Amino acid sequence: MASFDKFLRKYICRIIGALCVGGLHLLIVAIVVLEGGEGPGFTLLYMDLPIVYLWQFFNGKGGSIFGLTFYFLGTLMYALLGWLIGWMGDWLRQSSQEG
């Protein structure tokens, strides 16, 4: 249990950042699904530019499974972005404790 506490203490900002940013993306995806693929939520998903280019390539070649895959990949991409933001928070927290 002590090793998990060390892990949690070391990576807490990164975990929170990944959960917040990835969760925000999942919220936008849920809004898009409820709107039927139209509206302002769909426009927000164009922030997933690398994923959207793949989506346009496969559009119409397999149905909704490709759309769901790209929603998942976009969420993973934003979770990694949140992890990096959390890493900066960890770095700032450690540098303030040293000074």
* Ramachandran class of 39: left when φ > 0, alpha when ψ lies in -120 to 50, beta otherwise: left
Average pLDDT over residues 69-86: 84
Q: Which run of H or of E encompasses 81?
A: helix 64-98
pLDDT on residue 84? 92
For helices 64-98 and 2-35, angle between their N-to-C axes, nearest 10 degrees: 140
Query: 61 lies in a domain?
Result: yes
Query: 7 lies in a domain?
Result: no
Cα distance between residue 89 and residue 75, in whole Å: 21
pLDDT on residue 20? 92
Query: 32 lies in a domain?
Result: yes
Number of domains in the chain: 1
Give buried/exposed letters for 77-87 (b at 16+ CB in 10 A, else e): bbbeebbebbe
pTM for the model: 0.68
Query: 1 lies in a domain?
Result: no
Query: 28 lies in a domain?
Result: yes
pLDDT per position as a tens digit, 2-50: 788 888 888 888 899 999 988 888 887 777 777 776 666 666 666 666 6
pLDDT on residue 37? 66
